[in-house]
């Protein structure tokens, strides 16, 4: 392979090395640039001399300032780049460059499960919600029994999932921020892939009472063998109710409810649904310097196709958007949407300040090994996932997204917490990765897109789509974008299963609770 680098923007003074084994000192590029030292793959080379204090540019943006003079052909490492301050939130352009409406894309459908509440499922799953960690092992035990004894009789149902978590008691439930884990659980309980109807197991004495979790539901005074219900659709079992004697009877009660729900779920049929009924959550994990030029732009292209088809596309990860927010507020459809975005950034700035987090808390050692010098470079690559359409709406952490088009849902960047917070609003998940992660979710299929071919080759049974071919010029961003779009429709229909689903890789629910624990 010839020596190859990728310069994203004409004004950039750094570029990343493409060659899988990196390049040796003395390597000369066709344009005469000569490496003064060995540089690993995906790390940056200086294209020209950068004087001390001058900006280092990538993506046409300033990613930092040179701490000392950098010569053309030098390896531009983390320690040579001073971290810039984040864009001030009170000086951002608001809806000043709203992209024009993209041309509609019609005729694309998938086979989905329609729900009474207007949502659409991509899988048919029995979900059992828990109000508190105390009941989690009991529910896990019941789920094993359901899987062995009941599920084989209901071939139309894909799986049984216990929504277990560490929240529910010993928490300051009225403190600011407590609404976040509560509303996340509330929306998860009626997930589109559960048929949008909750089955809930509660202990009885916990802080998070079922009436708090579902304030709109009529609650029965007791549960037991007669199967009382929260409403026509929602079932509730309380372990401390007097009708339930001992563990065996408790498990038997859970199995009775489960059987009733399985009968309902088994009657669901897939029907042809327009692509507009998809709601696709996007995130990255284990990013590298290629992420921003291969997998994220390809996913961004697919995001534009989904938006054109009338679907919802959700991106989040506040700490990986914060340093590029000046590129997003102009794209907001209205001034109000831009202000909503700034509100979420400010909330998170204050949250991090409360915890005295420093600006180097993100990126990770793996990100740095992958060539990312700091969070600014990471953010510029991360927002490529959002494509080019107007930002239509902003949701707070754990709020259910109801808008179509491109939506920012505020979440931490942590893979498992971001996934958990996007879950209530999505029926498909796309995960881009450079360093690699076997990440998967129990409630929705997760499609993994790699930034580098080397990763896709090393993990052929974990990575679904290789976007690394963009770096070598073997494929274009548009080709990969269409490939992702078509693959998502097949995964949504159940006719294709991504690797994480085939292996049954299910990361735990990780609720975001910024409120104190007592």
User: Is 415 an interacting residue with respect to Ca ion (CB under 5 A)?
Assistant: yes
Residues 90-129 within binding reach of Ca ion (CB under 5 A): none
Residue 449, SS3 per DSSP: strand
Sequence length of the chain is 518
> Whole-number minimum distance, CB 413 to Ca ion, in Å?
5
Judged by beta carbon, residue 115 or residue 437, the one nearer Ca ion is: 437
Q: What is Dmax (Cα atoms) for the chain?
A: 83
Over the window 195 to 234, marking each residue x when it contacts Ca ion by CB under 5 A and - when it does not, the resulting string is ----------------------------------------
> Whole-number minimum distance, CB 423 to Ca ion, in Å?
14
> Whole-number minimum distance, CB 397 to Ca ion, in Å?
14
Phi, psi of 306 (to 5 degrees): -65, -45
Instruction: Mention every residue, 6+ apart, whose C-beta is less than 8 A from residue 21.
Output: 41
Rounded CA gap, 408 and 386, in Å?
9
Judged by beta carbon, residue 8 or residue 418, the one nearer Ca ion is: 418
What is the DSSP track for 360-376? TSSS-HHHHHTT--SHH
Judged by beta carbon, residue 223 or residue 291, the one nearer Ca ion is: 291
Rounded CA gap, 452 and 469, in Å?
7
- Give Cα separations from 58 to 13, 55, 274, 299 (angstroms): 7, 10, 39, 20
Judged by beta carbon, residue 282 or residue 442, the one nearer Ca ion is: 282
Judged by beta carbon, residue 283 or residue 374, the one nearer Ca ion is: 283
Contact region for Ca ion (CB under 5 A) — 180-188, 247-255, 399-407, 416-424?
A: 416-424
Instruction: Mention every residue, 6+ apart, whose C-beta is less than 8 A from residue 127.
Output: 160, 161, 163, 188, 189, 191, 193, 194, 198, 199, 443
Contact region for Ca ion (CB under 5 A) — 16-24, 253-261, 406-414, 452-460?
A: 406-414
Contact region for Ca ion (CB under 5 A) — 31-39, 97-105, 180-188, 411-419?
A: 411-419
- Total residues interacting with Ca ion, rule: CB under 5 A: 5
Contact region for Ca ion (CB under 5 A) — 133-141, 283-291, 366-374, 430-438?
A: 283-291
Rounded CA gap, 461 and 440, in Å?
13
Instruction: Figure out which of the listed residues 285, 424, 440, 498 binds Ca ion, where binding follows CB under 5 A.
Output: 285
The alpha-helical segments, DSSP class H, found in 178-221 are 179-189, 210-213
User: Is 321 an interacting residue with respect to Ca ion (CB under 5 A)?
Assistant: no
Instruction: Figure out which of the listed residues 146, 413, 426, 443 binds Ca ion, where binding follows CB under 5 A.
Output: 413
Other C-beta atoms closer than 10 Å to the C-beta of 399 total 18
Contact region for Ca ion (CB under 5 A) — 37-45, 174-182, 233-241, 405-413?
A: 405-413
Judged by beta carbon, residue 223 or residue 287, the one nearer Ca ion is: 287
- Give Cα separations from 299 to 319, 430, 495 (angstroms): 19, 8, 21
> Whole-number minimum distance, CB 432 to Ca ion, in Å?
9
Instruction: Figure out which of the listed residues 283, 296, 362, 451 binds Ca ion, where binding follows CB under 5 A.
Output: 283
> Whole-number minimum distance, CB 379 to Ca ion, in Å?
12
Rounded CA gap, 336 and 100, in Å?
18
Residue 363, preceding peptide bond in cis (omega within 30° of 0)? yes
Q: Return the half-sphere exposure (C-beta side, CA atoms, 13 A cut-off) of residue 117.
A: 14
Judged by beta carbon, residue 166 or residue 507, the one nearer Ca ion is: 507
User: Is 434 an interacting residue with respect to Ca ion (CB under 5 A)?
Assistant: no
> Whole-number minimum distance, CB 362 to Ca ion, in Å?
9
Rounded CA gap, 483 and 497, in Å?
15
Residue 432, SS3 per DSSP: strand
Q: Which residues of this chain interact with Ca ion, rule CB under 5 A?
A: 283, 285, 413, 415, 418
């Amino acid at each position: 392979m010839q020596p190859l680098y990728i310069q994203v923007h004409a004004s950039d003074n750094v570029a990343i090395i493409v060659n899988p084994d990196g390049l040796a000192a003395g390597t000369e590029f066709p344009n005469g640039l000569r490496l003064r030292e060995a540089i690993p793959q995906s790390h940056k080379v200086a294209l020209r001399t950068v004087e001390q204090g001058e900006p280092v540019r990538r993506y046409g943006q300033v990613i930092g300032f040179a701490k000392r003079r950098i010569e053309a052909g030098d390896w531009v490492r983390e320690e040579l780049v001073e971290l810039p301050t984040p864009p001030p939130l009170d000086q951002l352009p608001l809806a000043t460059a709203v992209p024009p409406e993209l041309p509609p894309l019609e005729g694309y459908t998938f086979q989905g499960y329609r729900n009474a509440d207007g949502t659409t499922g991509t899988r048919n799953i029995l979900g059992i919600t828990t109000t508190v960690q105390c009941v989690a092992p009991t529910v896990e035990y019941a789920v094993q029994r359901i899987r062995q004894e009941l599920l084989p009789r209901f071939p139309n149902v894909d799986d049984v999932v216990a929504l277990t978590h560490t929240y529910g008691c010993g928490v300051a439930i009225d403190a600011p921020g407590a609404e976040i884990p509560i509303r996340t659980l509330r929306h998860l309980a009626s997930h589109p892939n559960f048929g949008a109807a909750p089955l809930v197991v509660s202990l009885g004495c916990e802080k998070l009472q079922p009436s708090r979790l579902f304030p709109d539901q009529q609650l029965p005074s007791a549960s037991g063998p007669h199967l009382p219900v929260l409403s026509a659709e929602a079932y509730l079992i309380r372990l401390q109710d007097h009708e339930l004697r001992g563990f065996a009877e408790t498990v038997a009660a859970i199995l009775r409810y489960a059987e009733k729900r399985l009968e309902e779920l088994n009657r669901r049929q897939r029907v042809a649904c327009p692509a507009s009924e998809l709601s696709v959550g996007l995130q990255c994990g284990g990013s590298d310097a290629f992420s921003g030029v291969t997998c994220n732009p390809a996913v961004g292209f697919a995001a534009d196709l989904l938006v054109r088809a009338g679907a919802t596309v959700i991106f989040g990860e506040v700490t990986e958007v914060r340093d590029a927010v000046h590129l997003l507020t102009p794209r907001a459809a209205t001034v109000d949407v831009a202000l909503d975005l700034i509100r979420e950034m400010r909330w998170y700035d204050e949250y991090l300040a409360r915890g005295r987090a420093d600006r180097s808390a993100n990126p990770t050692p793996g990100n740095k090994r992958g060539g990312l010098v700091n969070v600014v470079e990471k953010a510029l690559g991360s927002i490529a996932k959002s494509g080019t359409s107007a930002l239509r709406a902003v949701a707070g952490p754990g709020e259910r997204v109801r808008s179509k088009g491109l939506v920012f849902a505020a979440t931490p960047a942590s893979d498992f917490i971001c996934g958990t917070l996007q879950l209530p609003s999505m029926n498909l998940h796309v995960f881009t990765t450079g360093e690699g992660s076997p990440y998967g979710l129990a409630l929705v299929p997760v499609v993994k897109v790699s930034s580098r071919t080397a990763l896709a080759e090393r993990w052929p049974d974990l990575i679904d789509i290789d976007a690394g071919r963009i770096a070598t010029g073997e494929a274009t961003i548009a080709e990969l974008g269409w490939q992702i779009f078509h693959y998502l429709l097949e995964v949504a229909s159940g006719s294709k299963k991504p690797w994480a689903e085939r292996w049954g890789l299910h990361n735990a629910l990780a609720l975001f609770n910024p409120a104190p624990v007592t």
